[in-house]
């Protein structure tokens, strides 16, 4: 599966923003499985779903910081334009989140819709994939992949699809109840630096 392993990043750089996470009280709810990493993503909710294809993509992300980290984390969203080639991948946006200390947090990550002009006409309608990934110091440590169904809302267009897609008539539906979560072991912070601060080194791999 394309969302299951590491992939080359899209060629065009994303707009880089920044965000300050909101602290939240720990509480029960759906979990993306525990991890021994310094950052553990506990839940992702897809907002405004289903929605017109041209609407922004929005995610409410809950995570916890289990051990202090020195730098921001970075969230990225990638839209897979075609299953045939990664050249049609679009990195929709990226945002830096920090500073982060030990505790629970929640953010809303919004990214613009993909550019339909960069998607092959034959691939715009149907099922594709979006990939929400989080990185620390340019190292990806978690990826959440979702299938996305793009369909016409007009029955006549469903029965007789136009050769040139009518994007304003397309509805996007993220299959939010079936995420595929992949975790990667990374180096978090320099253990030597922690020794100087008389702190133990960070956990190096997810559970």
The rounded distance, in Å, linking the Cα atoms of 29 and 22 is: 18
Question: Of all residues in the chain, what percent carry a pLDDT higher than 70?
Answer: 74
Which residues neighbour 2 within 8 Å (Cβ) at sequence distance 6 or greater?
80, 83, 129, 145
**CB 163, CB 121: distance < 8 Å:** yes
Whats the size of the chain, residue-wise? Answer: 207
Supply the mean pLDDT for the chain.
82
Q: What is the pLDDT of residues 103-125, one digit of tens each?
A: 999 999 999 999 999 999 999 99
pLDDT of residue 114: 98
Beta-carbon contacts of residue 73 (< 8 Å; ≥ 6 apart): 39, 96, 97, 98, 100, 134, 135, 136
pLDDT at residue 80 is higher than 90:
yes
pLDDT digits (tens, 9 = 90+) for 9-36: 333 333 344 455 665 544 433 445 444 6
């Amino acid at each position: 599966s394309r969302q299951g392993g590491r992939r080359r990043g899209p060629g065009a750089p994303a707009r880089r923003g920044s965000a300050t996470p909101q602290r939240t009280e720990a509480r029960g709810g759906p979990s993306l499985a525990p991890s021994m990493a310094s950052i553990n993503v506990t839940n992702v909710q897809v907002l405004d779903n289903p929605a017109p294809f041209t609407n922004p993509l929005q995610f409410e992300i809950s995570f916890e910081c289990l051990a202090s980290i020195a730098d921001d984390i970075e969230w990225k969203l990638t839209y897979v334009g075609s299953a045939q080639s990664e050249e049609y991948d679009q990195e929709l946006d990226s945002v830096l989140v920090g500073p982060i200390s030990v505790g629970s947090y929640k953010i809303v990550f919004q990214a613009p819709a993909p550019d339909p002009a960069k998607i092959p006409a034959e691939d715009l309608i149907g099922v594709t994939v979006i990939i929400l990934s989080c990185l620390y110091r340019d190292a990806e440590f978690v990826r959440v992949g979702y299938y996305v169904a793009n369909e016409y809302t007009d029955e006549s267009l469903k029965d007789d699809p136009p050769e040139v897609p009518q994007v304003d008539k397309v509805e996007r539906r993220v299959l939010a109840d079936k995420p595929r979560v992949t975790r990667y072991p990374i180096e978090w912070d320099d253990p030597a630096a922690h020794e100087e601060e008389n702190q133990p080194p960070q956990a190096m791999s997810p559970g």
